[in-house]
Structure 1
Amino acid sequence: MDKQRLREILKELKKWKAHATILLSLYIPPGRPISDVLNLLRQELSVADNIKLKKTRNAVERALSVAIERVSKIPKVPDKGLVLFTGENPDTGESITVMLIPPEDVPVFFYRTDKVFHTEFLEDMVSESNMVGLLIVERDAATIGLLKGNRLQVVEELEDYIPGKHQKGGQSQRRYDRIIEQMVEDFYKRVGEHVNKAFLPLLEQGKLKAILVGGPAYAKYDFMEKDYMDYRLKKIVLPEFIDVAYQGEPGLREMILKAGDALKEQEYAETLKALEEFKYHLAKDDGMIVYGDEEVRNALEMGLVETLLIGESREDVEEWLDLARKRGAKPLVLSDDIPEGEWFTKTFNGLAGILRTRITW
């Protein structure tokens, strides 16, 4: 199972909430004997008979019975382990059962019935392991961000009041300048502390691969010249510093767009650029884009789509991903969190293609 499909399943599982502890989550790591798992589930089924509330007891017993039935059909735990979720809504009678082999090894043996499904171990698997840290710094403001797959996260925004230049001249001028320099120095130290706090744990976990630094004028160079940032983080700072005019999320987006090849492997940067290209062709009305499910499918079948844009909220994301790959198109899944992602989903039903050449029908 690929990570995109797993994200879709997790999204569905998170919708389930119960008034009692009746939703069953089971994680089986590689190498765990099936007989051990079945013994545990059968013991839990016998204990469930002691639950006083009949509706809760029946729901838990049904969940355990489903789990026993599914697991008993597996002769051996797969190489990456096995995960199972099952439960029901007693009020509506609606039920759900999901059994899957995850994209990474199951790290722990875990069983629980609860008011929610425990998806935290799987969420670790879909959290990006190829993150890029982002820092915009100037003498009185800074933005710390993270680029994770097709998502941009603003981690923290910092600011301080640094006065402008003094105009009196003489010793008063020099004294005033020293005060200002110390204020800037103190702010840079503060920024460095917050950068270390945000990025060092990710670096130690092996998730943070690079840091991109930007900002207006020379502040970014002044900041990087000294050791405000931990030396381990400085080793992965990309050599090109980016000129940006804004702080906050707009500044981070501007920096990502200007970074060019430095971020060529980052999905978020790719989707931003692809969406900009789509809008460019849309404005020119030059016949180089296609939208509408039937029109996109026909263009894919003809091998004319170079890039396929898919909104992540569509229920058939996996189907379009498969079709794009079979027809030689590059699929990009657009998060609603991406700038104009919601506009794309609402206006074009979350599906469009950028073409290799104009279509002549």
Structure 2
Amino acid sequence: MKKWSAPATVLLSLYIPPGRPIPDVLNLLRQEYSIAQNIKLKRTRDAVTSAIQSAIDRLTQIPKVPDNGLVIFCGENFETEESKCFVFSPPEKVTIFFYRTDKYFHTEFLEDMIEENDVFGLIIVERDYATIGILKGTRIEVLDEFEGFVPGKHMMGGQSQRRIDRIIEEMYANFLKEVGEKANSYLLPYLESGKLKGILLGGPGYAKKDFYDGDYLDYRLKKLVLLPLIDIPDQGDAGLKELVMKAQDILKNQKYVQVQNLLEELKYHIAKDDGLVVYGIEEIRKALHMGAVDSLVIYDEPNSELEKLSQEAENYGTKVYVVGDELPDAEWVKKTFGGAIGKLRYKIY
């Protein structure tokens, strides 16, 4: 799909996450079809409307978005004058809704699914709340976030107090059991495919230790829990990101941690204005030719000058980190520095 190209923005890429109602997507496509009727160039207009109509025709035959979502690529290969429409559910969940007609198909979201083999499980558990996620490359994904009902301690005294305490402890154990069952269902497929390299377990209090000490995780997963357990006050996406960064000594060779540390180092050099940062495609290219670029962060923009720069930098032995919007500072790299920023081995000016 990456080899397909067009002289105009006529190649349709559509990513639909699970849970998105198909009628809503069809309404969007019909609106885009009406807008495309106003394109002045007949060849371009025909190509765009044909691609949108092909997507509509196929979507109307699908009653519900599959569990992993849907991906649709429709368009004409201008070199062969061949029109095709590909519709499939990917091997992993689609996490965004994305629609665009462009000069190329947007395959970058699929590439992230298949290129990174090392996966780390992420679990944050407290007395009545839990988040389960994965770390893959530079992408952290929340797989599930859920709440239980576990009351606090009651002070009634006597036998009533002991009975209530037993009930509360039973509810607590049942919640930890639920966390374990969900973690098993999400993480065992990665283990069985050989991708799961470890599990980070954290939380704000004693629940993480109770969860680890108990028989809540499948024994194969429990062997992969990386110690020590990590104190984390937050849940959700923010909590998972903090969990990963607090485990950077454990994950020092993992891409997400390496990129985050490099970006922090770049910010430090920018603040000092010590001449050890380079940005701008031509300036970076000159520094590469001098052998002066140690590391480079490039925003993921396929079929662009940035992609060419990435390939050129690798040829010079530079460490290259390609980042997408899943990384918190990716937008900073894109908007402030035009999509590329590097650390120099030495000052060149």
TM-score range with shorter-chain normalisation? 0.5 to 0.7
- Are 2:343 and 1:343 aligned? no
- How far apart are 1:225 and its partner, in Å? 0.4
- How far apart are 1:345 and its partner, in Å? 0.9
Aligned to 2:2: 9
Candidates 299, 302, 320, aligned match of 2:309: 320
C-alpha deviations, 1:148-185, integer Å up to 9, x for none?
12211111101123222324444443333222211211
C-alpha deviations, 1:279-331, integer Å up to 9, x for none?
33333434332222222222222222221000002523442233323333211
C-alpha deviations, 1:31-76, integer Å up to 9, x for none?
xxxxxxxxxxxxxxxxxxxxxxxx99xx9xxxxxxxxxxxxxxxxx
Is the 2:281–2:309 Cα contact (8 Å) retained in structure 1?
no
Is the 1:87–1:97 Cα contact (8 Å) retained in structure 2?
no
Letter in 1 for 2:324: S
TM-score, normalised to structure 1, is 0.66
Is the 1:271–1:333 Cα contact (8 Å) retained in structure 2?
no
* Structure 2: unaligned runs, 5 residues or longer: 14-45, 51-72, 92-106
For residues 249-268 of structure 1, the aligned pairs below 5 Å read 249-268=237-256
Aligned to 1:181: 169
Is the 2:293–2:345 Cα contact (8 Å) retained in structure 1?
yes
Alpha-carbon distance between aligned partners in 1 of 2:5 and 2:129, rounded to the nearest angstrom: 40
Candidates 322, 329, 353, aligned match of 2:342: 353
Alpha-carbon distance between aligned partners in 2 of 1:144 and 1:332, rounded to the nearest angstrom: 26
Aligned with 1:115: secondary structure?
A: strand
For residues 1-361 of structure 1, the aligned pairs below 5 Å read 9=2, 16-17=11-12, 89=76, 94-95=78-79, 114-116=84-86, 126-313=114-301, 315-357=304-346, 359-361=347-349
Aligned with 1:257: secondary structure?
A: helix
Alpha-carbon distance between aligned partners in 1 of 2:191 and 2:233, rounded to the nearest angstrom: 28
Distance 1:193 1:352, change over 3 A: same
Aligned to 1:40: none
Letter in 2 for 1:16: L
C-alpha deviations, 1:231-285, integer Å up to 9, x for none?
1111222122222121111111111111123223322222222222223333343
Letter in 2 for 1:264: K
> Which entry has the higher C-alpha Rg, 1 or 2?
1
Alpha-carbon distance between aligned partners in 1 of 2:89 and 2:168, rounded to the nearest angstrom: 50
Is the 2:306–2:340 Cα contact (8 Å) retained in structure 1?
no
Letter in 1 for 2:330: G
Alpha-carbon distance between aligned partners in 2 of 1:12 and 1:171, rounded to the nearest angstrom: 76
TM-score, normalised to structure 2, is 0.68
Aligned with 1:194: secondary structure?
A: helix
* Structure 1: unaligned runs, 5 residues or longer: 1-7, 19-54, 60-85, 99-112
Alpha-carbon distance between aligned partners in 2 of 1:87 and 1:249, rounded to the nearest angstrom: 33
Distance 1:293 1:114, change over 3 A: closer
Kindly tell me the number of residue pairs found equivalent between the two proteins.
272
Letter in 2 for 1:116: F
Alpha-carbon distance between aligned partners in 2 of 1:303 and 1:242, rounded to the nearest angstrom: 40
Letter in 2 for 1:295: E
Aligned with 2:205: secondary structure?
A: coil
Is the 1:88–1:94 Cα contact (8 Å) retained in structure 2?
no
Alpha-carbon distance between aligned partners in 2 of 1:117 and 1:142, rounded to the nearest angstrom: 35
Alpha-carbon distance between aligned partners in 2 of 1:253 and 1:10, rounded to the nearest angstrom: 35
Alpha-carbon distance between aligned partners in 1 of 2:179 and 2:227, rounded to the nearest angstrom: 20
Alpha-carbon distance between aligned partners in 1 of 2:3 and 2:306, rounded to the nearest angstrom: 14
Alpha-carbon distance between aligned partners in 2 of 1:235 and 1:208, rounded to the nearest angstrom: 12
Aligned with 2:249: secondary structure?
A: helix
Distance 1:356 1:167, change over 3 A: farther
* Runs of 4+ that moved beyond 6 A: 10-13
